[in-house]
Amino acid sequence: MVFLARILRFLFWLLIVSWSVSILRRIVGRMGQGANPAKPAVDEPSAALSQRLVRDPVCGMHVAEGLSLPLSEGAEILHFCSAACRDKYLEGTKKFAANG
């Protein structure tokens, strides 16, 4: 029974020490941030990431409108995540047009 009590006491103090180290790291980290006031604490999203998301018709991936590769087909504008998806779409439409 004494052995079990010693193990529990050891685990308790291990927990206390780890929490103390964690708190000290936070305090020291905040002190380091206070030394450099020019750096903002919160990162602001870039303009490309805050834009509207569009869906690639080939693979279904969502891409920011500013980062996508647009292709106008008639009155409709399609957005692709990569040149490979755009080429795959164009090859597919040529096949359908030849069969049509």
Return the minimum-mean-pLDDT range out of 20-24, 43-47, 51-55: 43-47
Tell me the average pLDDT across 65-78.
89
Res 96 pLDDT > 60: no
3-state secondary structure of 24: helix
Q: Count CB atoms within 10 A of the CB of residue 59.
A: 14
pTM of the predicted structure, to 2 decimals: 0.46
